[in-house]
């Protein structure tokens, strides 16, 4: 194994993508109306696709941090729902198995070829 001083910056580099679901990124996603203006101003989709393409070309692994998907009972027993979790529960945002809970086309993980990693789904807070 190479010593830390002999490894290249690429050997110590990873790309982290957070919540790249259709629900957020696709114009028909339920959450998209809340982020579409910002996404348009920053050209988010084009930049995401460019950085994923560059990471793949350089062999840089991509780590996917994906929000917990809605399913029956997920919010049962929560005593302190914030507006975000209340809205997710009420509108069944990121519903497990739905189109909205799929990763946006072109940004999907490549766990075998690029050795991407899908990190356990996370909650905002609990």
Q: What is the pLDDT of residues 3-58, one digit of tens each?
A: 555 666 667 899 999 999 999 999 999 999 999 999 999 999 999 999 999 999 99
Pair type for strands 117-122 and 15-18: unpaired
Ramachandran sector of residue 106 (left: φ over 0; alpha: ψ -120 to 50; beta: rest): left
For residue 63, what is the domain's CATH number? 3.40.50.850
Ramachandran sector of residue 67 (left: φ over 0; alpha: ψ -120 to 50; beta: rest): beta
Domain assignment present for 3: no
Domain assignment present for 1: no
Domain assignment of residue 57, given as a range: 8-122
CB contact set of 59 (below 8 Å; sequence gap of 6+): 10, 114
Domain assignment present for 92: yes
Burial label for 19, CB within 10 Å (0-12, 13-18, 19+), is middle
Here the tokens at position 120 are 């356990």
Residue owning tokens 């790309």? 15
User: Number of folded domains in the chain?
Assistant: 1
Per-residue pLDDT for 79 more than 50?
yes
pLDDT at 126: 40
Domain assignment present for 79: yes
Domain assignment present for 85: yes
Domain assignment present for 68: yes
pLDDT at 4: 53
Domain assignment present for 2: no
* Confidence bin at 123 (pLDDT 50/70/90): low
Question: What are the strands of the beta sheet with 15-18, ordered from one edge?
Answer: 15-18, 62-67, 117-122
Domain assignment present for 84: yes
């Amino acid at each position: 194994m190479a010593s830390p001083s002999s490894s290249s910056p690429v050997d110590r580099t990873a790309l982290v993508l957070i919540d790249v679901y259709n629900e957020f990124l696709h114009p028909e996603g339920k959450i998209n109306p809340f982020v579409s203006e910002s996404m348009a101003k920053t050209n988010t989709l084009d930049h995401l696709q460019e950085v994923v393409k560059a990471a793949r070309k350089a062999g840089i692994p991509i780590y996917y941090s994906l929000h917990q998907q809605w399913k029956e009972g997920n919010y049962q027993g929560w005593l302190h729902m914030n507006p975000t979790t209340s809205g997710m529960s009420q509108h069944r945002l990121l519903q497990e198995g739905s189109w909205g809970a799929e990763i946006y086309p072109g940004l999907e993980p490549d766990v075998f070829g690029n050795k991407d990693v899908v990190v356990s789904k996370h909650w905002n807070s609990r």
